[in-house]
Amino acid sequence: MIAEPPIPELGSVTASALAEVLATQFKLSVIASAPDEETNSKPMEQCHVGSVKLTGGLFSGDVQLQLPEAFVAKLTTVMLGANAASVAEEDAADITGELCNMLAGRIAATLAAAGYFSTLSIPTVARGRRLKFENDPGAKKYRSNWTCEGHLLKVASQFSFRSR
Amino acid sequence: MSPKILSVDDSKAVRKLLARMFRPFDCELCEAANGEEGLAVAAREMPDLIILDYNMPVMDGISMLRRLRENADLRRTPVIMLTAESSAENIATVARLGVRDYVTKPFNEELLLAKAGRAVPLVAHLTHNGRPNPRSGRSGDTLGAVSSEETDSATELAARTPAPSASALQSASVLVVDDSSTMRMSLIKALNELGFDNIKEAKNGRQALELVRKEIFDLMLLDMEMPEMNGMEVLIALKNDPQLGGLPVIVISGADQIENAVRCIEAGAEDYLPKPFNPTLLRARATSSIEKKRLRDLDRVRLTQLQSEKDKTEAANRLVTEQNQILGNLSTKLSKYLSPQIFQSIFKGEQNVEISSKRKKLTICFTDIAGFTETTDNLESEELTNVLNHYLTEMSVIALQHGATIDKFIGDAMLLFFGDPQSKGVAEDAKACVVMAIAMQRRMRELEQEWRSRGLLRPFRIRMGITTGFCTVGNFGSRDRMDYTIIGNEVNLAARLQSATEPGSILLSHETNALVQGLVMTEEQPPITVKGFPKPISGYKIVGTFDDLIKEGRVVLEERDGLHVLVDLTKQDSSDVIEILEGILTRLKLPRGKGKRAPRAGQRTPQG
């Protein structure tokens, strides 16, 4: 019988992935916030939620990212060099999806290095919904809050590992 | 012409970002939101570089890549994958499809520009103040482009080459170069964990160069900041060494040294790995670099093979050319032993070189120098050879000008014939032969003076006999040695006629004489008895052509329908001729029905 590879500590994997994506692509740094901190939290309808699913032989997962609209505008400004006070809905969804895609890609790369290979789905983006996963009692769930440029970002992931 | 770059990404933000990144450069950007659209835009725009996402709706990047490789016009277009997917398997898959480079998202913009600059020449625009655009940081020159041949051959080879096994890649030899022993150990440990067994280390650039000059490596992981010789100096030394230029180098740089990393990539490094390094990135970049080196090595082997084949082909061609030249020279030499007509007909394949013959009516000419031995008695053999060869050459030229087939030289004699392999008809062949014989006699008179000056006291005079009749013509001899010749009584007759005539004259047989009436005036000779011929043979000596005789005033010739008047003034006194003609006039004035007289026997016969 082949032993399963050790599962990386997914909380820190997610944290370092988010930090890497924001630093590399947007030259932004993040700091961790308390999980329940809602100080700067915006109303739900002013947030975009991106989701990317990971599908592999030994596991499946879902990485979700909630970004306030103002932060998406900030990302657009940084990424495209334009001063975007407000961003069109379509463009906001696009940049949220791309950021989520990069985040899931970094997490997938770390898991692949540990022996858990997967492929990424195309990102889906919705406005005004909570971070929410399919009901899977055996899944490992992680949630973390982050502050970047005064905006509260929420990251959540869920992974279900299978035996060979 | 500025390069055209196609970005294919489902994210509008990424496409816009790429457009912003490439704006400072003299290039044209087009975009597509998925693989299907990408194929259509690529077919329309024929880009010089495609930057391609992996995960896209409608058609993903890998499907588009496969379709590109099937398209004859686009299969060589360099592609850089720009994707969040970074597994070694994905990199290996796209490398087999000929992807030029692989950049993972999130990506460093300078790094992507450097990699794009290796695929297409990117020239920075100048700003309004004439300074280079600060974004590019370069003075209007190109961002390290590679030749299209390199891309083409690697792409083509990748499409044909089966994937290497993981074990094959991991048995590759890797050199880790870092002044920090901790970093070296850390990299070696990570490489070991990834399955790489064959790892060596060097603690500075100088030691690294010594090692790569002694041993063969598939990959170098190179630190930037080192004592004695830094990473950039190593890169420059490698790239300037034709033996080592193909060694892929991954630069290990601190996250704060990204500018240096970009410079290293421009200087020829394959990729870079930020410190602290991520094992997945290490695996992906090492695998990708080794795979690309393997393809380049295959390419080189293939090129060497092709060069070797080319050399062999060229050597073979040279040999064939030399042999052809030898054969050409030989055939030129051999052709001198054959009559040109025979030589040509053999070389054109019109005549088989086999023992065969046919009966054919030919006109045969036999020439011989009268009293050759006595004439040349006083000449040294060398001078004799020269004179004889001169004579034969001159006669041969005339013979060939008139279409004769030179059968053979028999000492100072020549046997020539007309009518094979080419014939203009029996009468025309006979006339050509007679005209040739007259030309030969005329030339002999011209040569007389020249030969006299060379010590030939008594000039050559030739006798010629000509006859027309059926002969057997063809190849005679054995299978190994044959002659194209004629045999038959007519050949003997020509020889006998020759020997029966006076030096400097031409004697025709009865049949030839009949065929050349109107062309030459002949004089019938007393019949001669010839061995092999039961009855005496009539011979006709050529006096000259009518044209010449009229011009010389030796003959008067008037011809009309029903009238033929020939006066040979060498035989008849003009007053006698006048008297005869007046008699004829008197008779012509008499009433019709009285009077013409037949010519007397023994008199010269007017020909025609």
Q: Which of A26-35, A106-115, B364-373 has the highest mean pLDDT?
A: B364-373
- ipTM for the complex shown: 0.86
| Residue pointed to by tokens 């007519």 | B490
Q: Which of B33-42, B221-230, B449-458 has the highest mean pLDDT?
A: B33-42
| Residue pointed to by tokens 């590019």 | B136
Per DSSP bridges, beta strands B49-52 and B482-487 are unpaired
For residue B58, list its beta bridge partners: none
Distance from B15 to chain A by nearest Cα, in Å?
Answer: 10
State the pLDDT confidence band at B4, using cuts at 50, 70 and 90: very high
Q: What percent of chain B has pLDDT over 70?
A: 87
pLDDT at B601 (0 to 100): 41
Fill in the DSSP letter of residue B244.
T
Contact A120 B55 (CB under 8 A): yes
Average pLDDT of the residues in B586-590: 85
H or E stretch covering B368: strand B357-369
Q: How far apart are CA A108 and CA B261, in angstroms?
A: 25
Give the side-chain half-sphere CA count within 13 A for B307.
Answer: 6
Q: What percent of chain A has pLDDT over 70?
A: 87
Which among B10, B86, B89 has the least Cβ separation from residue A122? B10
Closest among A149, A160, A80 to A118, alpha carbons compared: A160
Residue scoring higher pLDDT (B488 or B339): B488
Contact B84 A105 (CB under 8 A): yes
Q: What percent of chain B has pLDDT over 90?
A: 27
For chain A, the residues whose C-beta falls within 8 A of a C-beta of chain B are 20-21, 24-25, 76, 79-81, 90-91, 94-95, 97-98, 101-102, 104-106, 108-110, 112-113, 117, 119-122
Is a pLDDT exceeding 60 seen at residue A93? yes
pLDDT at B33 (0 to 100): 93
Average pLDDT of the residues in B569-584: 84
Average pLDDT of the residues in B399-413: 90
Contact A112 B88 (CB under 8 A): yes
Radius of gyration of the CA atoms of chain A, in A: 16
All residues of chain B having their beta carbon less than 8 Å from the beta carbon of residue A119 are: 55, 85
Average pLDDT of the residues in B106-121: 82
| Residue pointed to by tokens 């306030």 | A68
Q: What is the pLDDT of residues B422-458, one digit of tens each?
A: 899 999 999 999 999 999 999 998 888 888 777 777 7
B4-8, B28-32, B336-340, B490-494, range with the lowest pLDDT: B336-340
All residues of chain B having their beta carbon less than 8 Å from the beta carbon of residue A25 are: 105-107
Is a pLDDT exceeding 90 seen at residue B366? yes
Is a pLDDT exceeding 80 seen at residue B259? no
Whole-model pTM? 0.47
Q: Chain B residue with minimal CA distance to A17?
A: B106
Structure tokens at B256: 């704060």
pLDDT at A50 (0 to 100): 94
Q: What is the pLDDT of residues B293-318, one digit of tens each?
A: 777 777 777 787 788 788 888 888 88
State the pLDDT confidence band at B148, using cuts at 50, 70 and 90: very low
> What's the whole-number average pLDDT of chain B?
81
- Rounded to a whole number of angstroms, the distance between the first and last alpha carbons of chain B is 86
For residue B209, list its beta bridge partners: none
Q: Cite the beta strand spans of B405-491 per DSSP E.
A: 405-410, 413-418, 462-477, 482-487
Average pLDDT of the residues in B259-272: 82
Size of interface A-B (CB pairs under 8 A): 80
Fill in the DSSP letter of residue A36.
T
